[in-house]
Amino acid sequence: MLKGQAFKFGDSISTDLIVPGRLLHLRSNLPELAKHVLEDADPTFAGRVHKGDFVVGGKNFGLGSSREHAPLVIKMAGVSAIIAKSVARIFFRNAINVGLPVLICDTDGINDGDELEVDLEEGNIRDLTSGLEVGFAPIPEIMLRILDEGGLVPYIRKYGDFVLPKS
């Protein structure tokens, strides 16, 4: 069970808004880069986010560049999951690969600052502030396994190869 506060963002939060090119020189210094997470979308976010909190977006979260630093610094900031209406493809894979859950559901009923409780197994989000409950789309099995291991690198270290579920 994950528990934390919602930080609400709008539609189309691009990887340029999460970690812009002008901070490229910090990419091999992740703790420093993480201080700027989502800075161009909300300059106060990095200072306010706490361990366990959620980033809640609208449509097409994470569109743009393939930079994996984007989900990585969101995770480093303590965020326990990203919740959005839809998520760009590369960002989705990257987030799972670094062990950051991505949950797809209608986020209109979640407001900035709401207290959320997420049950990854049940596939459901409870907004403790508003009382709202929403289910999220199931995560594909191969991704669930990767997530279970904490990311793709630990997954590969364990299995040595991709293991596809028997269909």
Partner 1 sequence: MGQTLAEKILTARADTEARAGHIVVARVDLAFVQDTTGPLTVRQFSEAGLPLHNPEKTAMFIDHSAPSPAKELSNDHVFMRKFAAETGAKLSDIGEGVCHQLVAESWAKPGDVIVGADSHTVTAGALGAFATGMGSTDVAVAMALGKTWLRVPETMRIRANGKWPKGVYSKDLILYLIGMIGADGATYKSLEFTGEAVTAMSMSQRLTIANMAVEAGAKVGLFPSDAVTQSYLREHGRGELFVPLAPDADADYESTTDIDVSRLEPTVSKPHTVDNTALAKDLKGVKIEQVFIGTCTNGRLEDLALVAGMMKGKKHHPRTRLVVAPASQKILLAAIEKGYITTLVEAGATVVPPGCAACLGVHQGVLGNGESCLSTANRNFKGRMGNPESFVYLASPATAAATALRGEITDPREVL
Residue 58 near partner 1 by CB under 8 A: no
Shortest reach from residue 13's CB to partner 1, in Å: 10
Residue 90 near partner 1 by CB under 8 A: yes
* Distance separating alpha carbons of residues 122 and 17, to the nearest angstrom: 32
**How open is the CA angle 150-151-155, to the nearest 5 degrees?**
95
Residue 48 near partner 1 by CB under 8 A: no
Strands, E, within the chain: which ranges?
2-8, 54-56, 81-84, 102-104, 115-119, 124-127, 133-135
Site string for partner 1, 99-138 (x = CB under 8 A): ----------------------------------------
The encoded tokens of residue 145 equal 């396994």
| DSSP H stretches of helix in the chain | 15-18, 30-34, 45-48, 69-76, 89-97, 141-148, 152-159
Cβ–Cβ under 8 Å, residues 37 and 45: yes
Of 49-57, 75-83, 86-94, 130-138: span binding partner 1 (CB under 8 A)? 86-94
Residue 86 near partner 1 by CB under 8 A: yes
- The residues that touch partner 1, with contacts defined as CB under 8 A, are 12, 14, 16-17, 20-22, 24-29, 40, 59-60, 63-69, 72, 86, 88-90, 93-94, 97-98, 140, 142, 151-153, 156-157, 160-162, 164
